[in-house]
Amino acid sequence: MNKLLQVLVVGTVVAFGSGAPAFAAESMAGTWTLNLEKSKFVPGPAPKSQTRTYADTPDGTALTVTGVAADGSAVSGHSTFKYDGKDYPIIGSADYDTLSLKRINHSTTRSLQKKDGKVVGRTIRTMSAHGKVLTLNSRGKKADGTSYHNIAVFDRQ
């Protein structure tokens, strides 16, 4: 009996211990800071700064965005969503009012941004294999009708 218990305990530790790094790499949870040198904003201008904080909650993933826009004004937004393709409200964007997200694989997510139910933007969010770089490749139209293609690169803090 004692031998069986040891095997079960060791097996559980090995199974969960080897799975933990993979889970940590898949989780967006944490704080991410915009790396302006690696990012590209077309047509621009780029924001002066941006920080994204993701937190895993019982209601889904909570996202808080803060920063400074190109014109020096404060940026602030938040949303809580699941990766189920349903629309979730987002507060703080003039360009869209809901998000719809689906996982493509363990490190990549597709997001649709909508304004009044109409798709106005698409983003592919990819986390690097080592879990330290987050890239958002976004295309769409702003509320004023201007088209954009932004590649925002964030470093995990």
Per-residue pLDDT tens for 10-27?
333 333 333 333 333 358
Asked whether residue 52 is domain-assigned, the answer is yes
How confident is the model at residue 27, as a pLDDT? 80
Q: What mean pLDDT do residues 63-84 have? A: 97
Asked whether residue 1 is domain-assigned, the answer is no
CA 18-21-22 angle, 5° bins: 90
pLDDT at 2 over 80: no
pLDDT at 157 over 90: yes
Strand, coil or helix: 46: coil
**What distance in Å separates the CA atoms of residue 124 and residue 74, rounded to the nearest whole number?**
25
Percentage above 90 pLDDT, the chain: 82
Residue 34, domain CATH: 2.40.128.20
- Distances, alpha carbon 143 to alpha carbons 11, 67, 74, 113, 119, in Å: 55, 20, 18, 12, 12
Asked whether residue 24 is domain-assigned, the answer is no
Q: Whole-prediction pTM value?
A: 0.82
Domain residue limits at 138:
29-156
What is the total count of domains within the chain? 1
Asked whether residue 53 is domain-assigned, the answer is yes
Question: pLDDT averaged over the chain?
Answer: 87
Asked whether residue 19 is domain-assigned, the answer is no
End-to-end CA distance of the chain: 46
Asked whether residue 123 is domain-assigned, the answer is yes
- Distances, alpha carbon 1 to alpha carbons 5, 8, 149, in Å: 6, 11, 63
Asked whether residue 56 is domain-assigned, the answer is yes
Asked whether residue 20 is domain-assigned, the answer is no
Count Cβ atoms below 10 Å from residue 70 Cβ, excluding itself.
12
